[in-house]
Structure 1
Amino acid sequence: MGPPSSSGFYVSRAVAVLLAGLAAALLLALAVLAALYGQCARDPSSEMQHRGGPGAAPVQPRKQKEQPPTPKPGPARKPAVAATPSDWRPPGPWDQLRLPPWLVPLHYELELWPRLQPDQLSAPALRFTGRVNITVRCIVSTARLLLHSLLLDCDSAEVRGRVPVNDVWFALDMEYMVLELGEALQPGSRYKLQLSFSGPVYQDTWEGLFLNLYTDQGERRALLASHLEPTFARYVFPCFDEPALKATFSITIIHHSSYVALSNMPRLGQSEKEDVNGSKWTVTTFYTTPLMPTYLVAFAICDCDHVNRTERGQEISIWARKDAIANGYADFALNITGPIFSFLEDLFNISYPLPKTDIIALPTFDKRAMENWGLLMFDESLLLLQPEDQLTEKKTVISSIVSHEIGHQWFGNMVTMAWWNDLWLNEGFASYFEFEIINHFNPKFPRVSILSPTGSYDQGKILLPATVKSIMDSWTHQSGFPVITLNVSTGVMKQEPFYLGKVKNQTLLTHNDTWIVPILWIKNGTTQSLVWLDNSSKVFPEMQVSDSEHDWVILNLNMTGYYRVNYDKLGWKKLNQQLEKDPKAIPVIHRLQLIDDAFSLSKNNYIEIETALDLTKYLAEEDEIIVWHAVLLNLVTRDLISNVNNYDIYPLLKYLLKRLMSIWNTYSTIIRENVATLQDDYLALMSLEELFRTACWLGLEDCLQLSKELFRNWVTHPENEIPYPIRNVILCYGIALGNEKEWDFLLSIYNNKTKEEERMQLAYAMGCSKDPWILNRYMEYAIATSPFTFNETNIIQVVAESEVGRYIAKDFLVNNWQAVSERYGAQSLVTLIDIIGRTISTDSQIMEMQQFCSNVLEEHQRLSIHAKLQTIKQENLEKKKRNARITAWLRENT
């Protein structure tokens, strides 16, 4: 059995900051939720104005078979009947993206029969057959029916009620099936469309009905599942495939008796039937669903096991490979799922309407996770917790994604957007409540306070400066986000769009580029009243500061707003003085915010780099690793590492090491003595790698010695795993400080690993060698028989990104151009040249690369690469100027 599961909830810093950035806008959006829900109802009269009227008489086209253009990957299929140039039809509703509002679906009776059998897993073209009866209500009289269908063969089509179907054809561009009727349907009447069809099961894509092949308990097995969002229901059955067209579904699945069938609702009953060969199949029927859109319909046919629990009468089951269930890998997900449902029921005061929830872990699922109502689907790497995951952020990932998908059971499933242009709001609400859930269940996590009923101000007293619609429009009808600049001398606050690489002193604000921004702020450590910036600039006298050293202001309380914050010189000076005098007076979230905002603003020419660097003077007193993480990501960038020489790096080494030692000693001691204490410290787990990488790069002897110890201990005793948070750094420096023996050992380990993540870690570590001949030998694998399972051109990229290898990789590519070209083709080479071009820094090197490209590339390729190299040349010039100013500042302050 696996380790005992914890019921704790966790979130990573990256997730926290991102979600907090959305919080303000999302809270305001709650006010318009009811309106959005109301929009799901259709208005036939208004829709008719832009979709065209129904045809009065049936058209009798000549049937002609045609393969659909650019089909999705899958088995070969019999082409459907389609409209073609020789079978021309006049413009009509089949040319429109949206369905005409002639019919409203009410209920689907859907039967699917995939021919999946456990002894025929290698079948090259697995298919399914199906039948669907769709009850519809006619809104506008029509003799022509349109519904969605793609890559399906229609075997029969009828309309109950003695309405003849004269013809069935397919309008492929907009993915419609068109039924031409012998007489018009009448408004207000109900009809039942009866369709029989067949289609392919996909093996190389995760759309429609797809197949997973995997190994469980030493045997090869298969699992069939569905993914219908956003418009893949039409790949599985003819339907009205738009999110506003909700209906109820009664689903039947016919399957081999050794498999279990799952769908949105609980199983109603089972029976048997025989096929034409006399083989017996199991028929599983399910209870009827509530009203829901087609994209949430779901089914799975699997040979899985499960664990389950009951939460407030709702049965919750986690399904996965039998090995995974037996080893307890699903226990953590099971333990957190029930409490999440209960929390959201209490929060919304709305009970979850389904009697059960199945969650299935798919061996491979590139969609990551999907919130199908009553049958949630996850890639197993995002749901199952294994013993080796204890010192990773895996609990964070599982908690976050499970919370997100369960949040969708209310926002998305119960309340659904009318059209896909509101998908951002669907995802935004789920993300918002994902964050609320994790804060609720893990109070030990340093909470980033967000706008909520328990916030630091009385929401009942807030007066909005404009209508909710105006506020929301200012954020949803334009791209990007603002920079808010406060002049603490005058109290003037202004906003402008945030641009990457703004030209110095350029004014970029136009009359349309304004946001209505809620400003939460603190003064001298005390929370102040909410204010709104609803113009390009506004005066707030209460934000002025005096000459006192203790007088300072910080905007964007707890980073709840989605904007960058800038201050005038006095504002930054006051904050810097406070950090140097008493950094703990500024909460940790704001110390991180100041560092991140300042370096981002300096990089994009809003403030001088020296202003950002001044904020780092206090770092000897900083004991929060998450703040150090922000400092190192912004200051010790890969550009700096690859461009500074030994003379220039000395001031940085001296400056950082003097301030780094305290935090280094804390965490290096933990790594040496009791790394298990970090198991639930997710801020440390996500920040340690950057701390160790920088310390070793700076040449800190203790870091290099610790890397040697951990690497050699692992080589000698492989059961002594390198702590996961610093595994990449230790592997890299183990190779950098070693020789051929260590490199060959890593290669042998690579060949025996099966997990792709571990193989990639080893492959990148092998590029850290400082021996040119080893790196050249490594790159030989790119043009010879290779033991590497990933794209061998990545080997050259790995070497090019290393400190020593960037020059060797360029020479290797030049000297072996013909062999590389023959093996990988021109496009891969263009990519490689682009990668290597970004590792060179001098004008002469760029000229050499341009000359080389002129000799070996086609003209259109040369033009593309030359343009990129010119961009790199300009970027290198800017980087050199910036690095020179950093070096000069360091010399003055070291």
Structure 2
Amino acid sequence: MNRWILQMGFPVVTIDSKTGKISQKHFLLDPDSVVDRPSCVLIQLTCSKHRYKNEDLTQKMFFISIQTATNTNMMLGPDDWLVANIKMKGFYRVNYDLENWERLLSKLSSKHQVQRLTSTNRAQIIDDRPVKTTTKFLDKEREYMPWETTRRNLNYFILMFDRSEVYGPMQVSVQISSSSLIKPADNEGVQYNQVNAISMACSTGTLIIHSPSLISLIPLLLPLSLTYWVIFMLCSSISPNLKSTVYCSAIAAGGVEEWDFAWSMFKKATIASEAEKLMYALSCTKQPWLLNRYLEYCLDPEKIRKQDATFTITYIAANSVGQSLAWDFIRSNWDHIFNDCERPCLFYGDAAEVQVVCSCQKPG
């Protein structure tokens, strides 16, 4: 286990189904990064080969401990396709040759064939493949894990492209993919999917009420005035699953009155989960001066607790309006953040991918 324990990160396994060649290397978000240390681990590789119309041909498991190997079990015929890391039980990513990727993606586009891939492996494909090639198949997806993976990956693209010419087509894609899931449901898994779909639609401004069954959701999803906001908060009429999305949408659609009201509710909150939802919602405003004020609150432990300051900054960085504001704030107040905050070692912005590590130098 030394190679797993003493080495950083995890590997990406690349399979060439034409030659049977298998290779592993250290997975890096930036493929151009220079790594001056060898990285090779013992991997339990599981795979399943299928034909288009028949049952599973084979399911295999074997180990690889070198950087490059060849296994004839990985070679495919013209009608075969292969998926590795079955049910994602192994701690590694998977990449395939172009032909096998195209066959896997064709499975996602077929309502009948898609069930031959487990929901876990469908989520894996979405996570391992560029998001632009997988989201167009989501209108046929109903399981939670693939949608949750899509939401996490799309957040980054929504943030990066919100001011570019591709944002319009992205809105259309999100609208088409999520519209079939935005409806009341009793099944718990479907309810979580509904939350994801509504959250994605609200974040891109594409929610369309197209069914009588959605009438009950209209007050929660339209831009909320202060009156609505107060009524919903006091009457506790919001589904617990939808609270974060509704709170965030209300703050984003409102102004200083809505923000100040939410701030007062945050300071009065006695339930930790409710306070956390409000702390996040306060970062959703589109008013730069309110975001700057919220950032300044992070320097005052009477307003924002030290243990919450890094979360607050990260939430603001995940807002397209607040991304540059948060980075300027970090650079201007690095000494305070590093020395006084209780969690200065790591910032993770889910969408902005803001990362500041203790070992780094002071930002320039």
Query: Residue deviations 1:370-406, cap 9 Å, x none?
Result: xxxxxxxxxxxxxxxxxxxxxxxxxxxxxxxxxxxxx
Task: Give the secondary-structure state (helix, strand or coil) at the position aligned to 2:23.
Answer: strand
Counterpart-to-counterpart distance in 2, 1:779 and 1:507: 35
Query: Residue deviations 1:119-160, cap 9 Å, x none?
Result: xxxxxxxxxxxxxxxxxxxxxxxxxxxxxxxxxxxxxxxxxx
The structure whose Rg is larger is 1
The answer for unaligned runs of 5 or more in structure 1 is: 1-471, 599-608, 671-676, 842-860, 870-894
- C-alpha distance 615-507 of structure 1, shift in aligned 2 (>3 A): farther
Return the match for 1:497 from 6, 15, 25: 25
Counterpart-to-counterpart distance in 1, 2:328 and 2:33: 42
- Which residue of the partner structure matches residue 240 of structure 2? 724
Q: How far off its partner does 1:734 sit?
A: 0.7
Counterpart-to-counterpart distance in 2, 1:615 and 1:840: 21
**C-alpha contact 2:21 2:70 (8 A) present in aligned 1:** yes
Counterpart-to-counterpart distance in 2, 1:621 and 1:572: 18
Amino acid paired to 1:628: W
Counterpart-to-counterpart distance in 2, 1:573 and 1:821: 46
Return the match for 1:660 from 164, 175, 178: 178
Q: How far off its partner does 1:627 sit?
A: 1.0
Q: 1:352-751 counterparts in 2 under 5 A? A: 481-490=10-19, 492-501=20-29, 503=31, 513-515=40-42, 517-524=44-51, 525-526=55-56, 528-534=58-64, 536=66, 537-548=68-79, 551-581=80-110, 582-598=113-129, 609=130, 613-634=132-153, 636-638=154-156, 640-642=158-160, 644-663=162-181, 665=182, 668-670=183-185, 677-678=186-187, 681=188, 683-684=189-190, 688-702=194-208, 706-708=220-222, 715-716=230-231, 718-751=234-267
Q: How far off its partner does 1:698 sit?
A: 1.3
Query: Residue deviations 1:717-754, cap 9 Å, x none?
Result: 52334222232221111111123332232233223322
Aligned Cα RMSD in Å? 4.5
Question: Greater strand share, 1 or 2?
Answer: 1
Stretch deviating more after TM superposition (740-749 or 534-543): 534-543
Q: How far off its partner does 1:495 sit?
A: 3.0
**C-alpha contact 2:14 2:95 (8 A) present in aligned 1:** yes
Amino acid paired to 1:716: I
Q: How far off its partner does 1:521 sit?
A: 2.0
Query: Residue deviations 1:391-436, cap 9 Å, x none?
Result: xxxxxxxxxxxxxxxxxxxxxxxxxxxxxxxxxxxxxxxxxxxxxx
Amino acid paired to 1:693: S
- C-alpha distance 805-503 of structure 1, shift in aligned 2 (>3 A): closer
Q: How far off its partner does 1:779 sit?
A: 5.1
Q: How far off its partner does 1:542 sit?
A: 4.2
**C-alpha contact 1:522 1:554 (8 A) present in aligned 2:** yes
Count of aligned residue pairs for this structure pair: 340
Query: Residue deviations 1:313-333, cap 9 Å, x none?
Result: xxxxxxxxxxxxxxxxxxxxx
Query: Residue deviations 1:269-318, cap 9 Å, x none?
Result: xxxxxxxxxxxxxxxxxxxxxxxxxxxxxxxxxxxxxxxxxxxxxxxxxx
Q: How far off its partner does 1:555 sit?
A: 1.8
- Which residue of the partner structure matches residue 339 of structure 2? 827
1:805 aligns with 2:322: yes
Counterpart-to-counterpart distance in 1, 2:330 and 2:41: 49
**C-alpha contact 1:521 1:530 (8 A) present in aligned 2:** yes
Q: How far off its partner does 1:590 sit?
A: 2.1
Q: How far off its partner does 1:563 sit?
A: 2.6
**C-alpha contact 1:623 1:662 (8 A) present in aligned 2:** no
Counterpart-to-counterpart distance in 1, 2:250 and 2:139: 29
TM-score by structure 2 length? Answer: 0.73
- C-alpha distance 771-644 of structure 1, shift in aligned 2 (>3 A): closer
Counterpart-to-counterpart distance in 2, 1:482 and 1:821: 33
Counterpart-to-counterpart distance in 1, 2:301 and 2:87: 54
Counterpart-to-counterpart distance in 2, 1:478 and 1:799: 33
Task: Give the secondary-structure state (helix, strand or coil) at the position aligned to 1:526.
Answer: coil
- Which residue of the partner structure matches residue 213 of structure 2? none
Task: Give the secondary-structure state (helix, strand or coil) at the position aligned to 1:489.
Answer: coil
The answer for unaligned runs of 5 or more in structure 2 is: 210-217
- C-alpha distance 560-813 of structure 1, shift in aligned 2 (>3 A): closer
**C-alpha contact 2:158 2:167 (8 A) present in aligned 1:** no
Amino acid paired to 1:532: F
- Which residue of the partner structure matches residue 467 of structure 1? none
- C-alpha distance 500-796 of structure 1, shift in aligned 2 (>3 A): closer
TM-score by structure 1 length? Answer: 0.33
**C-alpha contact 2:316 2:326 (8 A) present in aligned 1:** yes
Counterpart-to-counterpart distance in 2, 1:838 and 1:632: 10
Counterpart-to-counterpart distance in 2, 1:660 and 1:742: 28
- C-alpha distance 839-827 of structure 1, shift in aligned 2 (>3 A): farther
Amino acid paired to 2:259: W
Q: Percent identity?
A: 24
Question: Greater helix share, 1 or 2?
Answer: 2
**C-alpha contact 2:156 2:351 (8 A) present in aligned 1:** no
Amino acid paired to 1:570: E
Q: How far off its partner does 1:790 sit?
A: 5.6
Counterpart-to-counterpart distance in 1, 2:74 and 2:352: 47
- Which residue of the partner structure matches residue 864 of structure 1? 361
